[in-house]
Structure 1
Amino acid sequence: MSTVLLTGASRGIGAATARALSDSHDLVLVGRDTAALNAVADDCRSARVVTADLTSADGPALAAAGIDTLDGLVHCAGIAELGRIADTEADQWRRAYEVNVVAVLELTRALLPSLRTARGHVVVVNSGAGYTAKAGWGSYAASKFALRAFTDVLRHEEPDLRVTSVHPGRVDTDMQRAIVADEGGTYDPGAFLTPESVAAAIRQALDATPDAHPTEVVLRPRPH
């Protein structure tokens, strides 16, 4: 049974992915909300919970502790704060990079020996904003462009690993509700992808046959 570590596993895409993988993988669920992580773990066949802030100095090492071999690392944690460049201060940009890029980098670095041992698979949940930057999305899009660069470089530098960048459009999550509220819009869950749809794409990438390297997966909501 292969082992997969998931970040952002307490809710949204991370929780949906944990449930989608539960029947065929031993899971390590990482996040900051212990109660929410335990609730997800209760839905899984085999799951261990690690409470860690991956932006802290010791968070990545705490999440990686005791893992000698790792078949899959799925980065689902992320934040999105909107605002036009003229109105956003440097702290917002720093937060976006710390959570969306640096935490991904540091946890991946901590787990590289374990991933190399298993010839494992790194899956990074990016965004449509990793390809297209729109007004008001500066700090978020910039971090997601940087995250795409990270996955491209990792793929070249670690040829024994598979590295998949997943780019969903808007997804029905708590984060999406906050975004729509910031935009002043009316929330319509049916206009977005479900977390389960993204989780299914992540599982498909992880389950790819050994000769296949799914480098990028792009998902968009269908009109309804």
Structure 2
Amino acid sequence: MNRIKKITLFFLVFTLVFASAFFLVACNEQQEDEGDITRDLYVYAIAFEDAGATEEESSAKVQADADSSADKTAIVYLTFSKTDRKIEGANALWHSEKRKDGEFYFVTTIKISLSPESIFSAVKESIPQEDLVKDEVEYNRLKVVLRYDTIYKSIKSNGEITRSGRTYTHAFVLDENLQNDVFTLEMRSANSANWYAVLAACAFGVVLISIIATLAVKGAKWQKTKTKE
């Protein structure tokens, strides 16, 4: 009987732990429900289209480039991660929606709504002209690229995706002529609550079978002892 009591106690504790985990995960998922967040934009880096040229090639082209600086393009990379260079007046609206993909997965879709026209204006006002000079050549044309970095391979988007080590970068090129644009991120994740429920059910089944088997053995021994008497 002591063995049965121990198994029963283990079963009760095990059930309590999984029930607590189930409700905690369920509450957490409820908090991650759809919503809107306005996020600011920051300068990640400034690059130049001829950044791959050698030092000799760059020196040889200084005079020629000076005569055609209007055709040179500086690429301003923006990010949502905080840096020491915030673009005042530039932001984007994040709208997230979560839907079920079967019983064991969720698909979270994030729509990033912004105004490329306004962002271009804010970038031009925030970045001084001296930051757009390379090898004594002024880069008067701007290209603005919004980048989103993540370690999750499962995130998909309608941007250009590149990988560097463990980081996946989603790059979205802004069109200065557009007043409004929308970029999309999508991620498939596990429905933890249902997975915990399945594990709890399996654990319940294993413990229940153990109890039944123990009772059956005890019953057989008791029946055998009674028969001998």
TM-score relative to the length of structure 1: 0.22
Larger Rg: 2
Q: Whose strand proportion is higher, 1 or 2?
A: 2
TM-score computed with the length of structure 2 as normaliser: 0.22
